[in-house]
Amino acid sequence: MSRVLSGIQPSGTLHIGNYFAMMKPMISMQTDNELFCFIVNYHAMTTLTDGKVLRQNTVDAAMDFLALGLDPDRAHFWVQSDVPEVAELTWILSCHTSLGLLERSHSYKDKLARGITPNTGLFTYPVLMAADILLYNAQIIPVGKDQKQHVEITRDIAIRFNNTYGDIFTIPEPSIQEDIAVIPGTDGQKMSKSYDNTINIFEDEKSLKKKVMKIVTDSTPVEDPKNPDTCTIFALYRLFADKDRIENLRDRYASGGTGYGEVKKELLGLIWEHFRPFREKREMYEKDRGEVINILKKGADKTRAVALPTLEKVKGAVGLNYC
Protein backbone atom coordinates (compact mmCIF):
# COMPACT_ATOMS: atom_id res chain seq x y z
CA MET A 1 0.00 0.00 0.00
CA SER A 2 1.50 3.32 -1.11
CA ARG A 3 0.64 6.84 -0.07
CA VAL A 4 -0.62 8.54 -3.23
CA LEU A 5 -1.19 12.31 -3.31
CA SER A 6 -2.30 14.82 -5.89
CA GLY A 7 -4.17 18.10 -6.04
CA ILE A 8 -6.11 20.14 -8.53
CA GLN A 9 -6.48 23.91 -8.81
CA PRO A 10 -9.97 25.37 -8.58
CA SER A 11 -8.95 28.02 -11.10
CA GLY A 12 -11.82 27.15 -13.45
CA THR A 13 -14.28 24.42 -14.34
CA LEU A 14 -12.72 20.96 -14.44
CA HIS A 15 -12.36 19.44 -17.91
CA ILE A 16 -11.76 16.07 -19.54
CA GLY A 17 -7.99 16.71 -19.60
CA ASN A 18 -8.06 16.97 -15.79
CA TYR A 19 -10.35 13.94 -15.65
CA PHE A 20 -8.23 11.49 -17.65
CA ALA A 21 -4.81 12.71 -16.51
CA MET A 22 -5.50 13.17 -12.84
CA MET A 23 -8.99 12.58 -11.43
CA LYS A 24 -9.75 9.17 -12.94
CA PRO A 25 -6.37 7.61 -12.09
CA MET A 26 -6.54 9.06 -8.58
CA ILE A 27 -10.03 7.72 -7.91
CA SER A 28 -9.08 4.29 -9.23
CA MET A 29 -6.20 4.18 -6.75
CA GLN A 30 -8.34 4.73 -3.67
CA THR A 31 -9.02 1.03 -3.10
CA ASP A 32 -5.46 -0.25 -2.87
CA ASN A 33 -3.62 2.83 -1.62
CA GLU A 34 -3.72 5.49 1.00
CA LEU A 35 -5.13 8.33 -1.10
CA PHE A 36 -4.60 12.04 -0.40
CA CYS A 37 -6.65 14.15 -2.80
CA PHE A 38 -7.15 17.88 -2.36
CA ILE A 39 -8.30 21.10 -3.93
CA VAL A 40 -5.40 23.51 -4.07
CA ASN A 41 -7.01 26.90 -3.55
CA TYR A 42 -3.78 28.57 -2.38
CA HIS A 43 -2.24 27.65 -5.75
CA ALA A 44 -5.25 28.97 -7.65
CA MET A 45 -4.70 32.38 -5.99
CA THR A 46 -1.54 32.84 -8.06
CA THR A 47 -3.74 33.56 -11.08
CA LEU A 48 -7.27 34.07 -9.75
CA THR A 49 -8.08 37.22 -7.81
CA ASP A 50 -11.88 37.06 -7.63
CA GLY A 51 -12.83 35.74 -4.18
CA LYS A 52 -16.38 34.88 -5.18
CA VAL A 53 -15.22 32.83 -8.15
CA LEU A 54 -12.56 31.05 -6.09
CA ARG A 55 -15.15 30.11 -3.46
CA GLN A 56 -17.58 28.82 -6.07
CA ASN A 57 -14.93 26.87 -8.01
CA THR A 58 -13.65 25.24 -4.82
CA VAL A 59 -17.02 23.72 -3.92
CA ASP A 60 -17.70 22.85 -7.57
CA ALA A 61 -14.41 20.94 -7.80
CA ALA A 62 -15.29 19.06 -4.61
CA MET A 63 -18.68 18.09 -6.06
CA ASP A 64 -16.98 16.91 -9.25
CA PHE A 65 -14.66 14.59 -7.34
CA LEU A 66 -17.44 13.21 -5.17
CA ALA A 67 -19.73 12.68 -8.17
CA LEU A 68 -16.94 10.86 -10.03
CA GLY A 69 -16.62 8.38 -7.19
CA LEU A 70 -14.07 9.70 -4.73
CA ASP A 71 -14.92 8.11 -1.40
CA PRO A 72 -14.20 10.57 1.46
CA ASP A 73 -14.34 7.79 4.05
CA ARG A 74 -11.54 5.88 2.39
CA ALA A 75 -9.45 8.80 1.13
CA HIS A 76 -8.13 11.98 2.70
CA PHE A 77 -10.12 14.60 0.80
CA TRP A 78 -9.80 18.26 1.75
CA VAL A 79 -9.29 21.86 0.69
CA GLN A 80 -5.64 22.95 0.87
CA SER A 81 -6.21 26.10 2.96
CA ASP A 82 -8.12 24.12 5.60
CA VAL A 83 -4.73 22.74 6.69
CA PRO A 84 -2.87 26.08 6.80
CA GLU A 85 0.24 24.43 8.29
CA VAL A 86 1.22 23.88 4.66
CA ALA A 87 1.90 27.62 4.38
CA GLU A 88 4.21 27.41 7.39
CA LEU A 89 6.15 24.56 5.82
CA THR A 90 6.33 26.53 2.55
CA TRP A 91 8.22 29.32 4.32
CA ILE A 92 10.65 26.88 5.92
CA LEU A 93 11.27 25.14 2.59
CA SER A 94 11.68 28.41 0.71
CA CYS A 95 14.64 29.17 2.94
CA HIS A 96 16.18 25.94 1.61
CA THR A 97 15.36 26.45 -2.08
CA SER A 98 17.80 28.16 -4.41
CA LEU A 99 16.53 30.87 -6.71
CA GLY A 100 18.10 29.07 -9.67
CA LEU A 101 15.97 25.96 -9.11
CA LEU A 102 12.79 28.00 -9.44
CA GLU A 103 14.11 30.06 -12.35
CA ARG A 104 14.44 26.85 -14.34
CA SER A 105 10.71 26.02 -14.00
CA HIS A 106 9.16 25.48 -17.47
CA SER A 107 5.70 26.23 -16.22
CA TYR A 108 6.81 29.63 -14.87
CA LYS A 109 8.68 30.43 -18.09
CA ASP A 110 5.63 29.40 -20.19
CA LYS A 111 3.40 31.69 -18.17
CA LEU A 112 5.81 34.59 -18.64
CA ALA A 113 5.93 33.86 -22.37
CA ARG A 114 2.14 34.11 -22.48
CA GLY A 115 2.38 37.65 -21.16
CA ILE A 116 1.23 37.07 -17.57
CA THR A 117 2.65 39.68 -15.19
CA PRO A 118 3.92 37.36 -12.47
CA ASN A 119 3.39 37.86 -8.76
CA THR A 120 5.84 36.36 -6.25
CA GLY A 121 3.38 33.54 -5.53
CA LEU A 122 3.50 32.38 -9.13
CA PHE A 123 7.29 32.21 -8.93
CA THR A 124 7.38 30.34 -5.61
CA TYR A 125 4.43 28.09 -6.57
CA PRO A 126 6.68 24.97 -6.78
CA VAL A 127 7.76 25.46 -3.16
CA LEU A 128 4.12 25.41 -2.03
CA MET A 129 3.64 22.27 -4.11
CA ALA A 130 6.71 20.72 -2.46
CA ALA A 131 5.22 21.53 0.95
CA ASP A 132 1.93 19.90 -0.15
CA ILE A 133 3.74 16.70 -0.96
CA LEU A 134 6.33 16.59 1.83
CA LEU A 135 4.00 17.54 4.67
CA TYR A 136 2.14 14.26 4.18
CA ASN A 137 5.16 12.08 3.35
CA ALA A 138 3.57 11.15 0.04
CA GLN A 139 5.25 8.49 -2.09
CA ILE A 140 3.47 8.58 -5.45
CA ILE A 141 2.27 11.71 -7.23
CA PRO A 142 -0.06 11.11 -10.21
CA VAL A 143 0.05 14.17 -12.46
CA GLY A 144 -0.01 15.14 -16.12
CA LYS A 145 3.30 15.47 -17.94
CA ASP A 146 3.34 19.26 -17.48
CA GLN A 147 3.65 18.80 -13.70
CA LYS A 148 6.55 16.34 -13.77
CA GLN A 149 9.18 19.03 -13.30
CA HIS A 150 7.38 20.29 -10.20
CA VAL A 151 7.68 16.85 -8.62
CA GLU A 152 11.37 16.83 -9.56
CA ILE A 153 11.79 20.21 -7.87
CA THR A 154 10.10 18.71 -4.79
CA ARG A 155 12.59 15.85 -4.83
CA ASP A 156 15.51 18.28 -5.08
CA ILE A 157 14.23 20.31 -2.15
CA ALA A 158 13.61 17.20 -0.03
CA ILE A 159 16.99 15.62 -0.78
CA ARG A 160 18.79 18.84 0.07
CA PHE A 161 16.81 19.26 3.29
CA ASN A 162 17.47 15.66 4.32
CA ASN A 163 21.19 16.11 3.61
CA THR A 164 21.25 19.03 6.00
CA TYR A 165 18.96 17.77 8.78
CA GLY A 166 18.78 13.97 8.52
CA ASP A 167 16.06 11.70 7.25
CA ILE A 168 12.99 13.91 7.63
CA PHE A 169 11.13 13.74 4.32
CA THR A 170 10.01 10.86 2.11
CA ILE A 171 11.30 11.34 -1.45
CA PRO A 172 8.29 11.22 -3.80
CA GLU A 173 8.00 9.76 -7.32
CA PRO A 174 5.84 11.22 -10.10
CA SER A 175 3.40 8.85 -11.80
CA ILE A 176 2.57 9.90 -15.36
CA GLN A 177 0.01 8.21 -17.60
CA GLU A 178 2.24 8.26 -20.69
CA ASP A 179 -0.47 7.24 -23.17
CA ILE A 180 -2.65 10.21 -22.28
CA ALA A 181 0.15 12.57 -21.44
CA VAL A 182 -1.28 15.63 -23.18
CA ILE A 183 -4.97 15.81 -24.04
CA PRO A 184 -5.75 18.32 -26.76
CA GLY A 185 -8.46 20.95 -26.49
CA THR A 186 -10.98 21.92 -29.17
CA ASP A 187 -8.31 24.06 -30.90
CA GLY A 188 -5.76 21.22 -30.99
CA GLN A 189 -3.51 22.83 -28.33
CA LYS A 190 -3.19 21.37 -24.80
CA MET A 191 -6.62 21.47 -23.18
CA SER A 192 -6.40 23.98 -20.35
CA LYS A 193 -8.69 26.05 -18.15
CA SER A 194 -6.67 29.08 -19.18
CA TYR A 195 -6.92 28.62 -22.99
CA ASP A 196 -10.69 28.69 -23.59
CA ASN A 197 -10.48 25.34 -25.40
CA THR A 198 -11.90 22.95 -22.82
CA ILE A 199 -14.63 20.35 -22.88
CA ASN A 200 -15.84 20.26 -19.30
CA ILE A 201 -16.75 17.05 -17.49
CA PHE A 202 -20.22 18.22 -16.54
CA GLU A 203 -21.03 20.26 -19.63
CA ASP A 204 -24.75 20.58 -20.41
CA GLU A 205 -25.91 18.87 -23.58
CA LYS A 206 -26.24 21.99 -25.71
CA SER A 207 -22.84 23.42 -24.90
CA LEU A 208 -21.18 20.00 -25.18
CA LYS A 209 -22.56 19.74 -28.71
CA LYS A 210 -21.33 23.22 -29.59
CA LYS A 211 -17.84 22.48 -28.32
CA VAL A 212 -17.47 19.10 -30.00
CA MET A 213 -18.72 20.51 -33.29
CA LYS A 214 -16.14 23.29 -33.20
CA ILE A 215 -13.13 20.95 -32.76
CA VAL A 216 -10.56 22.14 -35.30
CA THR A 217 -9.65 19.70 -38.12
CA ASP A 218 -7.64 19.85 -41.32
CA SER A 219 -9.49 20.23 -44.60
CA THR A 220 -9.18 16.66 -45.96
CA PRO A 221 -12.32 15.97 -48.07
CA VAL A 222 -14.79 13.32 -46.86
CA GLU A 223 -13.78 10.74 -49.48
CA ASP A 224 -10.01 10.94 -48.80
CA PRO A 225 -8.05 8.89 -46.23
CA LYS A 226 -7.28 10.70 -42.98
CA ASN A 227 -4.44 10.58 -40.51
CA PRO A 228 -5.68 9.54 -37.05
CA ASP A 229 -2.36 10.44 -35.44
CA THR A 230 -2.67 14.15 -36.19
CA CYS A 231 -6.43 14.38 -35.68
CA THR A 232 -7.77 16.05 -32.52
CA ILE A 233 -11.16 14.32 -32.80
CA PHE A 234 -9.41 10.94 -32.91
CA ALA A 235 -7.21 11.83 -29.92
CA LEU A 236 -10.35 12.51 -27.86
CA TYR A 237 -12.32 9.60 -29.32
CA ARG A 238 -9.71 7.07 -28.18
CA LEU A 239 -10.16 8.21 -24.58
CA PHE A 240 -13.82 7.24 -24.54
CA ALA A 241 -14.20 4.34 -27.02
CA ASP A 242 -13.31 0.69 -26.40
CA LYS A 243 -10.49 -1.01 -28.31
CA ASP A 244 -12.65 -2.44 -31.11
CA ARG A 245 -14.31 0.88 -31.78
CA ILE A 246 -10.97 2.66 -31.91
CA GLU A 247 -9.61 0.10 -34.40
CA ASN A 248 -12.76 0.40 -36.48
CA LEU A 249 -12.36 4.17 -36.68
CA ARG A 250 -8.68 3.78 -37.58
CA ASP A 251 -9.74 1.57 -40.52
CA ARG A 252 -12.41 4.02 -41.60
CA TYR A 253 -9.86 6.86 -41.54
CA ALA A 254 -7.44 4.76 -43.62
CA SER A 255 -9.98 3.87 -46.29
CA GLY A 256 -11.58 7.32 -46.67
CA GLY A 257 -15.29 8.04 -47.01
CA THR A 258 -15.78 9.05 -43.37
CA GLY A 259 -16.26 12.78 -42.72
CA TYR A 260 -15.11 14.62 -39.62
CA GLY A 261 -18.69 15.77 -38.94
CA GLU A 262 -19.85 12.17 -38.65
CA VAL A 263 -17.04 11.30 -36.22
CA LYS A 264 -17.78 14.38 -34.13
CA LYS A 265 -21.37 13.17 -33.69
CA GLU A 266 -20.12 9.76 -32.52
CA LEU A 267 -17.69 11.43 -30.12
CA LEU A 268 -20.49 13.57 -28.72
CA GLY A 269 -22.55 10.45 -27.95
CA LEU A 270 -19.57 8.73 -26.32
CA ILE A 271 -18.79 11.66 -24.03
CA TRP A 272 -22.42 12.14 -23.02
CA GLU A 273 -22.87 8.47 -22.16
CA HIS A 274 -19.56 8.19 -20.33
CA PHE A 275 -20.49 10.84 -17.79
CA ARG A 276 -24.21 10.01 -17.52
CA PRO A 277 -24.10 8.11 -14.19
CA PHE A 278 -21.77 10.69 -12.66
CA ARG A 279 -24.02 13.53 -13.79
CA GLU A 280 -26.92 12.13 -11.79
CA LYS A 281 -24.79 11.88 -8.68
CA ARG A 282 -23.53 15.42 -9.14
CA GLU A 283 -27.08 16.77 -9.27
CA MET A 284 -27.65 15.14 -5.89
CA TYR A 285 -24.65 16.94 -4.35
CA GLU A 286 -25.70 20.24 -5.92
CA LYS A 287 -28.94 20.01 -3.96
CA ASP A 288 -27.04 19.37 -0.73
CA ARG A 289 -24.11 21.81 -0.59
CA GLY A 290 -24.14 21.62 3.22
CA GLU A 291 -23.23 17.95 3.04
CA VAL A 292 -20.33 18.74 0.68
CA ILE A 293 -18.97 21.34 3.13
CA ASN A 294 -19.30 18.82 5.99
CA ILE A 295 -17.32 16.25 4.04
CA LEU A 296 -14.55 18.78 3.35
CA LYS A 297 -14.31 19.94 6.97
CA LYS A 298 -14.17 16.37 8.26
CA GLY A 299 -11.53 15.63 5.62
CA ALA A 300 -9.41 18.58 6.79
CA ASP A 301 -9.48 17.35 10.42
CA LYS A 302 -8.42 13.88 9.37
CA THR A 303 -5.62 15.30 7.20
CA ARG A 304 -4.30 17.75 9.76
CA ALA A 305 -3.64 14.84 12.09
CA VAL A 306 -1.15 13.56 9.52
CA ALA A 307 0.41 16.98 8.90
CA LEU A 308 1.14 18.03 12.48
CA PRO A 309 3.74 15.38 13.40
CA THR A 310 5.74 16.11 10.22
CA LEU A 311 5.69 19.83 10.88
CA GLU A 312 6.79 19.30 14.48
CA LYS A 313 9.69 17.18 13.27
CA VAL A 314 10.72 19.85 10.76
CA LYS A 315 10.46 22.66 13.30
CA GLY A 316 12.58 20.63 15.69
CA ALA A 317 15.22 20.04 13.03
CA VAL A 318 15.55 23.66 11.91
CA GLY A 319 15.49 25.09 15.44
CA LEU A 320 12.08 26.75 15.57
CA ASN A 321 11.15 24.84 18.72
CA TYR A 322 13.33 26.96 20.97
CA CYS A 323 11.77 26.00 24.31
Residue ranges in contact with ligand ADP by CB under 6 A: 8-9, 11, 17-18, 21-22, 143-144, 146-147, 182-183, 190-194
Q: Which residue from 42, 74, 75, 47 is spatially nearest to 58, judged by alpha carbons?
A: 42
Complex with ligand TRP: residue 198 or 258, whichever CB lies closer: 198
| Contact call for residue 7 and ligand TRP (CB under 6 A) | yes
**Separation between Cα atoms, residue 75 and residue 303, nearest integer Å:** 10
- 264 catalytic per annotation: no
Enumerate the β-bridge partners of residue 220.
none
- DSSP for 85-152 reads HHHHHHHHHHTTS-HHHHHT-HHHHHHHHTT----HHHHHHHHHHHHHHHTTT--EEE--GGGHHHHH
* Residue at 233: amino acid letter: I
| Contact call for residue 133 and ligand TRP (CB under 6 A) | yes
| Contact call for residue 131 and ligand TRP (CB under 6 A) | no
Q: Catalytic residue among 109, 145, 148, 193, which?
A: 193
Sign of CA dihedral 195, 149, 98, 96: positive
Complex with ligand ADP: residue 9 or 258, whichever CB lies closer: 9
Cβ atoms 200, 166 nearer than 8 A: no
Q: Of the ranges 1-9, 83-91, 185-193, 205-213, which one interacts with ligand TRP (CB under 6 A)? A: 1-9
The one among 30, 147, 175, 186 contacting ligand TRP by CB under 6 A: 147
CB of 189 to ligand TRP, least distance (A): 17
Complex with ligand TRP: residue 12 or 228, whichever CB lies closer: 12
* Residue at 179: amino acid letter: D
CA angle 56, 140, 13 (to 5 degrees): 20
Residue 72 binds which entry of ligand ADP, ligand TRP, none, CB below 5-8 Å type-dependent: none
Cα–Cα distance list, 173 to 97, 132, 148, 213 (Å): 19, 14, 9, 39
Complex with ligand TRP: residue 90 or 186, whichever CB lies closer: 90
Cβ atoms 223, 257 nearer than 8 A: yes
**Separation between Cα atoms, residue 294 and residue 51, nearest integer Å:** 21
Complex with ligand TRP: residue 28 or 255, whichever CB lies closer: 28
Q: Kindly identify the residues of this chain, within the stretch 9-38, that bind ligand TRP according to CB under 6 A.
A: 9
- 297 catalytic per annotation: no
Enumerate the β-bridge partners of residue 15.
200
Cβ atoms 174, 147 nearer than 8 A: yes
Q: Of the ranges 5-13, 85-93, 223-231, 261-269, which one interacts with ligand TRP (CB under 6 A)? A: 5-13
Complex with ligand ADP: residue 182 or 305, whichever CB lies closer: 182
Task: State which residue has the least CB distance to ligand ADP.
Answer: 144
The one among 66, 75, 86, 129 contacting ligand TRP by CB under 6 A: 129
**Separation between Cα atoms, residue 87 and residue 85, nearest integer Å:** 5
- 193 catalytic per annotation: yes
Q: Catalytic residue among 111, 211, 226, 264, which?
A: 111
**Separation between Cα atoms, residue 69 and residue 280, nearest integer Å:** 12
| Contact call for residue 5 and ligand TRP (CB under 6 A) | yes
CB of 132 to ligand TRP, least distance (A): 4
Contact residues: ligand TRP, CB under 6 A: 5-7, 9, 40, 43, 129, 132-133, 141, 143, 147, 150
**Residues designated as active site:** 111, 190, 193
